[in-house]
Amino acid sequence: MPHPPMWSLAAATAALTLLAAQQPAYDEPLRPQFHFTPARYFMNDPNGLVFFKGEYHLFYQHNPQGEQWGHMSWGHAVSADLLHWQHLPVALPEADGLMIFSGSVVVDWRNTSGFCAAGRDDRSCLVAVYTGDGHGKQAQNLAYSNDRGRTWTKYANNPVLDLGLKDFRDPKTFWYEPTRRWIMVTVLPDQHKVRLFASPDLKGWTPLSEFGPAGATGGVWECPDLFELPIEGEPGRTRWVLDVDINPGGIAGGSAGQYFIGTFDGTRFVADEPAERTRWSDYGADFYASQSFSDIPAIDGRRIWIGWTSNWLYANDEPSVTWRGAQSIPRSLTLRRDPDGLRLVQSPVAEIERLRLAPAPTVITGATVLPGSAEIELHVKPGAWTEAGIRLWNDAGEEAIVGVTREPLEVFVDRRRSRRAPFHAAYPARHAGPLAWRYGELTVRILFDRSVIEVFAAGGETVITDRVFPTQPFDRLELLPSSGAQPDARMWTLVSVWNRPH
Ligand code: DQQ
């Protein structure tokens, strides 16, 4: 029997050094500990979110060569639990003057494309549908993988959908069972239009319908998504959600996500509300280009999306070093009916509770030490307060405040004093979203992760995502108001998902 080769000490040290160079410590002061960030260099939109054979795949817009947008390629990571990610090599690199812009991945279960080199019992493979940007235009392209996303082949007859337009992008594709065909949702960004196409095989596409302009149109439309969601408390009832992002012209300035609720009959999306009505998915400055996972098994049944926690106003200037850009926590989506109609509701995936250092929370009554990564829950009751919440602060005199105001009744994140010398004029700002007293008390769930704040108020009805970039860690927390009618507050320390056995 041949013996496995013995490693010399020098070879082992060299291999470890190489590993360390590829995988940084993930402990830089602004590096989130339970949010996904690229090992190094620039990241923007999540792409190709798909669940396949026990793995969640996260592809992302990535510059493999630098810390600012450019050379767009698809970075890649996989996870078994949506939290612990394993980095994989770049899946789709820029090539031949064509950058790989945003898009989606589907499981071609029945090998409709003919790309799947599958065995007798398994005819499935992964197919990526992405925008090729270059040579003066944008068109939709395919690539496929027969080894669970580890290697990809670009389709020889790309592009598969070309309107000869300079701006035509971000295909989100899904299988629509009632008509047994693929649907592709795209945008004509400067026309503020979503355009739908259908295909039997992912290769040949016919136009179906158009939606828009509607809602907010103060910037280009990008990264659409279309999916069906259950209505809470109304068993068997659903509605479709068309998500379209906009840049600039978002609610907090710059980039943001908006959505429309309505019906989809396999051909056309029709909104329930008048075209003038705008609904925002997030009231912060840092939630953009969200995309939902494809092919989550029916037995799980969740619709989960991830958004990029940045804003094109300053995405290239964020003061993180060696890496730039983070993804939001994966959020599970439902629809909830209130007196104002149906609305989208978002909650962090339940898996996040496994990151709690101890099952029992710490009850906060005054000032306390703030861990770098934490989940904080506030229960705010009507009472003698004008502003109730928490202040995160440090010795440099920097602070961020997260809370609720009474008049008007709003949830807010105030990061105006969160960095001594702002790196961009749009950074110091306060962002707020509307609330209503409907449950006797308001819950505010806050995820804090060094430079990411995500706030889910009223059970996820109003959400704010804001990045914070203090010059030294926020390591103290105090309740507001500092005396009198304080909210009930509890906190869990969350453990890091990076560089720790799991
Ligand atoms: N980012 C991608 C485009 C998309 C934009 C390019 C949204 O496909 O429209 O990096 O951030």
Tens of pLDDT, residue by residue over 275-309, are 999 999 999 999 999 999 999 999 999 999 999 99
Residue with the smallest CA separation from ligand 1 atom 9 is: 222
At 69-111, the pLDDT tens digits run 999 999 999 999 999 999 999 999 999 999 999 999 999 999 9
Cα(485) to ligand 1 centroid in Å equals: 45
Give me 428's structure tokens: 């110091």
Ligand 1 atom at shortest distance from the alpha carbon of 288: 11
pLDDT at position 23: 59
Handedness of CA 502, 73, 318, 58 (dihedral sign): negative
Task: Please give the average per-residue pLDDT across 452-464, as a whole number.
Answer: 98
Q: Quick check: CB of 168 below 6 Å from ligand 1?
A: no
Cα(277) to ligand 1 centroid in Å equals: 25
Q: Quick one: which H or E segment has residue 12?
A: helix 9-22
Strands 323-324 and 288-292: unpaired
Ligand 1 atom at shortest distance from the alpha carbon of 102: 8
Neighbour-count burial for 302-316, b at 16+ CB within 10 Å, e otherwise? ebbbbbbbbbbbbbb
pLDDT at position 13: 55
User: Considering the chain, what is the average pLDDT of its residues?
Assistant: 94
List for the chain the helix, strand, coil content (%; round to 5): 5, 45, 50
Cα(369) to ligand 1 centroid in Å equals: 39
pLDDT at position 1: 39
Cα(462) to ligand 1 centroid in Å equals: 25
Residue type, 259: Y
Cα(243) to ligand 1 centroid in Å equals: 15
Q: Quick check: CB of 47 below 6 Å from ligand 1?
A: no
Res. 5: pLDDT tops 50: no
Res. 12: pLDDT tops 70: no
pLDDT at position 499: 73
Res. 7: pLDDT tops 70: no
pLDDT at position 157: 98
Q: Quick check: CB of 102 below 6 Å from ligand 1?
A: yes
* 368 close to 73: Cβ distance less than 8 angstroms: no
CA distance 12 to 461: 52
Alpha-carbon distances, residue 440 vs 14, 380, 406, 443, 462 (angstroms): 61, 9, 14, 10, 17
3-state secondary structure of 353: helix
Mutate to test the pocket of ligand 1, among 68, 102, 190 (most ligand atoms within 8 A of CB): 102
Strands 41-52 and 323-324: parallel
Ligand 1 atom at shortest distance from the alpha carbon of 189: 9
Which one, of 113, 106, 91, lies nearest residue 157 by Cα?
A: 113
CA distance 385 to 243: 36
Q: Quick check: CB of 199 below 6 Å from ligand 1?
A: no
Give 500 or 293, the one with higher predicted confidence.
293
Ligand 1 atom at shortest distance from the alpha carbon of 308: 11
pLDDT at position 443: 97
Give 122 or 313, the one with higher predicted confidence.
313
Q: Quick check: CB of 45 below 6 Å from ligand 1?
A: yes
At 213-234, the pLDDT tens digits run 999 999 999 999 999 999 999 9
3-state secondary structure of 355: helix
3-state secondary structure of 182: strand
CA distance 222 to 192: 9
Residue type, 50: V
Q: Quick check: CB of 101 below 6 Å from ligand 1?
A: yes
Q: What is the DSSP track for 49-118?
A: EEEETTEEEEEEEEETT-SSS-S-EEEEEEESSSSSEEEEEEEE--BTTBEEEEEEEEEETT-TTS----
Q: Quick check: CB of 61 below 6 Å from ligand 1?
A: yes
Q: Quick check: CB of 222 below 6 Å from ligand 1?
A: yes
DSSP state of 6: P
Cα(288) to ligand 1 centroid in Å equals: 10
Res. 8: pLDDT tops 60: no
Res. 3: pLDDT tops 90: no
CA distance 380 to 366: 15
pLDDT at position 321: 87
Q: Quick check: CB of 72 below 6 Å from ligand 1?
A: yes
Give me 100's structure tokens: 């790989």
**22 pLDDT tier (thresholds 50, 70, 90):** low
Strands 169-176 and 181-188: antiparallel
* 380 close to 458: Cβ distance less than 8 angstroms: no
Task: Please give the average per-residue pLDDT across 406-428, as a whole number.
Answer: 96
pLDDT at position 439: 82
At 171-190, the pLDDT tens digits run 999 999 999 999 999 999 99
Which one, of 107, 140, 99, lies nearest residue 224 by Cα?
A: 140
Tokens 């996820």 correspond to: 460
CA 362 centroid distance within chain: 29
Q: Report, as residue numbers or ranges, the catalytic residues.
A: 45
Mutate to test the pocket of ligand 1, among 69, 72, 101, 316 (most ligand atoms within 8 A of CB): 101
pTM across the whole model:
0.95
| Bridge partners, 43 (sequence order) | 62
Under 8 Å CB-to-CB from 372, ≥6 apart: which residues? 33, 449, 450, 473, 475
| Bridge partners, 90 (sequence order) | none
DSSP state of 314: T
Q: Quick check: CB of 243 below 6 Å from ligand 1?
A: no
DSSP state of 382: S
CA distance 283 to 278: 12
**384 pLDDT tier (thresholds 50, 70, 90):** confident
Ligand 1 atom at shortest distance from the alpha carbon of 169: 8
Ligand 1 atom at shortest distance from the alpha carbon of 255: 11
At 135-170, the pLDDT tens digits run 999 999 999 999 999 999 999 999 999 999 999 999
Q: Quick check: CB of 131 below 6 Å from ligand 1?
A: yes
